Amino acid sequence: MASHITGLSFSELVAKLAARELSSVDVTATFLDAIARRDPKIGAFLHVDRDGAMRQAEGVDAKRAAGQFVGSLAGVPVAVKDVMCAVGQPATCGSKMLKSFIAPYDSGAVTKLKQADAVLIGRTNMDEFAMGSSGENSAFGPTRNPWDTDRVPGGSSSGSAAAVAARMAPLSLGSDTGGSIRQPAGLCGIVGLKSTYGRVSRYGLIAYASSLDQIGPFATDVTGAAMLLEAIAGHDPRDSTCVNTPVPAYSATVDQPLAGLKIGVPVEHFAEGLDPEIERAVREALAVYKSLGAELKDVHLPHSKYAIATYYLIATSEASSNLSRYDGVHYGHRAAQFGSLIEMYEASRGEGFGDEVKRRIMLGVFALSAGYADQYYTKALKVRRLIRQDFDAALVDVDVIAGPVTPTPAYKLGEKSSDPLSMYLGDIYTISANLAGLPGISIPCGFTTSSLPIGLQLQAAPFAEEKLLRAARMFERATDWHNRSPAIAST
């Protein structure tokens, strides 16, 4: 019974809940039990609110029994990355700095989940303050890839991706600053969507890099991602960057194929450094699109070669500013022993932050320092504009841009810990969308000979998520990669 429920597709689960063939209590209890069995081997969750989740599930069942209106996600368990505030719940950001913090309010995304009658099942592990690409930087232990627990699941939304891949939650929320939804989705063999900057409220999202951060869904299939995005998207006056534009009915149109679909293939994404097995799978995915009537066209993103450098100047600069508030006085961990005020700052931040966070803060402070800001940060902003212009030009002639999500499949835990630059290069195909503010989605498109998932990335023009989801669903209907699950999902 348990593996039957956790193995249902999102559409099947929603249909059975709506028809009252399954109760929210049964579904929620089943996923909670799956977490108890599977997560000790994965490390996807930092906090599981069993009592609170069961109360929410009982409330949904009571509303249904009384014939009251229920939301679009009624009774569906959703896991939330530990970077979004939910009242009364921990929000640690995977850091010792916030290990004792309990959120006093709901983030915009969590508010929307509650309005949709979703069941908040738990808080997921992540790279500390969303800084990382492997899931190894959490102060509370690494997350492991459900397909091979000796390998990384990707990051920074490591727990959210691993929870869905291991069928411990049908849906989850992550945040994406440079690929932190799409990259772990690709490495874990699920669907992950980074929405357009401004599509989803960032209110209550604990900031890493404010001009890059964006919230988005994880799901086992495109339909689930469409419905979760539909639930959380929309204007929020509490976030000045959240755009006041109507939210399309993504779930109503996702199954409508795109006639005359034109796909741009960036030649720069098939160059040195791309694993041959990943290139093969992506090329085969493009062939599937061609067989469905899509037209493939080479496009150029000439400034993409500067994306990594541009990102690590802008993101670290914003991070050094955002994280300056954690000083042991206003917010965050305070050291037990110190002398002067300055020593208290130093000791508190030294104890509270991990190595990767310290590295990025120092990079940002340097990039913004007197005499260097124009040379580094200001120049990076100019290159960012050029990167956006590349996408604007390419998307004039095509509907979506397709390519790999990552240059390599999931690597061994610890393999790149001593080589930060090599790890940073894992985001080489995803970072540009954040710099340009575009939506992007990762969908499963194959496996390596070692049975590791491979993801296909699709990117579209700003606020074209509807087109993106329909294009993704076209491929999904023609293949069965999304139906495969790791062995641990059946335990």
Mean pLDDT confidence for 18-47: 97
The CA distance from 348 to 338, in Å, is 9
Asked whether the predicted pLDDT for residue 1 surpasses 60, the reply is no
Residues 6+ apart with CB under 8 A from 351: 96, 333, 335
Per-residue pLDDT reduced to its tens digit, 321-350: 999 999 999 899 999 999 999 999 999 999
Give the side-chain half-sphere CA count within 13 A for 280. 9
Residue type, 116: A
Mean pLDDT for the stretch of residues 439-444: 98
**Residue-level pLDDT at 430:** 98
pLDDT band with cut points at 50, 70 and 90 for residue 422: confident
Asked if residue 400 is part of any domain, the answer here is no
In a domain, 159, yes or no: yes
Cβ neighbours around 373 below 10 Å, total = 14
CA–CA distance from 6 to each of 215, 442, 464 (Å)?
24, 22, 31
CB atoms within 10 A of CB 211: 17
Give pLDDT, residue 330: 85
pLDDT above 80 (res 137): yes
For residue 30, being part of any structural domain is answered with yes
| Among candidate residues 45, 34, 41, the one with its CA nearest the CA of residue 3 | 34
Enumerate helices (H) and strands (E) in the chain, giving the number of each: 17, 11
Alpha helices of 233-306 — where are they, by DSSP H?
250-253, 276-291
- What is the amino acid identity at position 248? P
pLDDT (mean) for 51-67? 97
First-to-last C-alpha distance (Å) of the chain: 12
Tell me, yes or no, whether 372 lies in a domain.
no
Question: Reduced to 3 states, what is the DSSP secondary structure of residue 151?
Answer: strand
Q: How many CB atoms lie within 10 A of CB 199?
A: 24
Task: Supply 87's token pair.
Answer: 């009242």
Residue 224 is assigned to a structural domain of this protein: yes
Specify the pTM. 0.97
In total, how many domains does the chain have? 1
Amino acid letter, 135? G
Residue written as tokens 């983030």?
Answer: 107
Sign, CA dihedral 232-9-177-248, equals: negative
Token pair in block for residue 459: 């990117």
Name the 3-class secondary structure at 247.
Answer: coil
Tell me the HSE value of 342 on the side-chain side, using a 13 A CA sphere: 0
Question: Residue 274 falls within a domain, yes or no?
Answer: no
User: pLDDT grade, residue 3 (50/70/90)?
Assistant: low
Residue 75 has pLDDT above 60, yes or no: yes
Residues 107-123: what's their mean pLDDT?
A: 98
Query: Which pLDDT value is given to residue 188?
Result: 98
Is the CB of residue 80 less than 8 Å from the CB of residue 124?
yes
Mean per-residue pLDDT, 443-470: 98
In percent, how much of the chain has pLDDT > 90?
95
Q: Identify the bridge partners of residue 192 per DSSP, sorted by sequence position.
A: 218, 442
What is the percent of the chain where pLDDT is above 70? 99
Neighbours of 443 (CB within 10 A): 30
Is the residue at 210 inside a domain? yes
| Segment 462-471, tens digit of pLDDT | 999 999 999 9
* Residue indicated by tokens 């040379």: 375
49 belongs to a structural domain: yes
Give pLDDT, residue 423. Answer: 87
State the Cα–Cα distance between residues 190 and 181, nearest whole angstrom.
10
Nearest Cα neighbor of 27 from 38, 14, 37 is 14
pLDDT of residue 421: 82
Per-residue pLDDT, 4:
85
- Rounded to whole angstroms, the Cα distance separating 326 from 309 reads 26
Q: Where are the beta strands (DSSP E) in 16-66?
A: 45-48
What 3-state DSSP class applies to 175?
strand
Provide the annotated active-site residues.
81, 156, 180
Q: Which of 478, 439, 134 minimizes the C-alpha distance to 284?
A: 478
Q: Is the pLDDT of residue 457 over 80?
A: yes
Q: Look at residue 2 and tell me whether its pLDDT is greater than 70.
A: no
Give the pLDDT confidence of 177-234 residue by residue, as tens digits: 999 999 999 999 999 999 999 999 999 999 999 999 999 999 999 999 999 999 999 9
Mean pLDDT, the chain, whole residue set: 96
Q: What tens digit of pLDDT does each residue of 292-304 get?
A: 999 999 999 999 9
> What strands lie across the sheet with 214-219, from one edge to the other?
45-48, 119-124, 77-81, 171-176, 214-219, 191-194, 440-447, 453-459, 400-404, 262-266, 295-299
Report whether 183 contacts 162 (CB < 8 A). no
CATH at residue 135:
3.90.1300.10
Q: Domain containing 161: what range? A: 2-262+464-490
Give me the mean pLDDT over the 72-92 stretch.
98
| pLDDT at residue 413, as a whole number | 97
- For 265, phi then psi, to 5°, come to -115, 105
